[in-house]
Each structure stands twice: as structure tokens, then as C-alpha cells.
Amino acid sequence: MKRLTIFVLLAHLLACSTEAQQKKFPVMKTEAEWKKQLTEQQYYVARKEETESPFNNAYHDNHEKGVYTCIGCGQLLFASDTKFESGTGWPSFFKPANNKAVEEHRDQKFGMVRREVHCSRCGSHLGHVFEDGPKPTGLRYCMNSASLQFAKKLNSRNLM
């Protein structure tokens, strides 16, 4: 019985391995390198696809002008002019900085089907995208602050 339980747990863990975790990205690091670079919370959110608490995170209530980059590799992901108040407790955006900044993957964890969002450069888990956002896209990119780094917009070069 004990062996059967271990087998079932192992099979479940392997089945939960996401497409993003298996893909090769331009920025690849070992688990030890990620753990050294990131805080414990950043590691579990960005690399282990956990979710931070709503309303108790760095950027859900940030209204400053600037850009949001990936905590793992620094790639530009979102601009503050696409951020909106979703009421969810997480920073939400209606579109990424460009059409190559993020990748979406089907997420079937927890008995739901969602679209998971990852950084296209290093594969860091960012959050999920939903089809209940404002115009012009109708999308809500619901992101984890722990996966983002904010930089105040000093000039237009921040967006390059």
C-alpha cells in the first residue's frame, strides 16, 4: 500500500509538470542559481508556479508611471499605462509590452482550465490571463508582484 501511494504521488507530480517547465528558454539557470538570485517567495512564485497572497503584495496598489520587468531575466513585460484596477488584489494589465514578451500555456491544475502566463525569455511564471478585462483587449493579465520588478519611468528609453 505504501508503494502504491508513493507511485501515485510521483505520477501526479510528473503529470503536473507544465509545458513551460519543460521548454528550453534563451535564459536557462540551474535551480541553485535561481535560488541564489531570487528571494524565497520570488523563487516559489516564479519558478515553482505558486501564487502570492492577494492585496498583500508589492504592486497591486502601485500607481506610479513606469515599467514592469521579469524578476528572473529583466525582460520588459508590461507598462504602467496598461495597468488597471481589477479589484482582485493582484496587479492587472490589459496587454503585455509587446507580443513577444510573454507566452501562454494551458493550466489544468486545481480542477480548472486557465491560461498561465510565463516570461518568454526565462520561463518565469507570472500569473494568468482571463477574458474579463477592459477595452481595448478585453483581457486581464493577473500577475504576481513577486515575479515582477518595477522601474519608474524616467524617459522613453525605459520602453526600449
Q: What is 85-132 written as a DSSP string?
A: --SSSS-EESS-SSTTSEEEEEE-GGG--EEEEEETTT--EEEEEES-
Distance in angstroms (rounded) separating the CA atoms of residues 145 and 135: 23
122 given a catalytic annotation = no
Out of 70, 119, 122, 142, which one is annotated catalytic? 142
φ/ψ of 42, rounded to 5, equals: -60, -40
Cell 512564485 locates to 45
Contact of 74 with 158, CB cutoff 8 Å: no
Contact of 43 with 34, CB cutoff 8 Å: yes
- Catalytic residue positions? 142
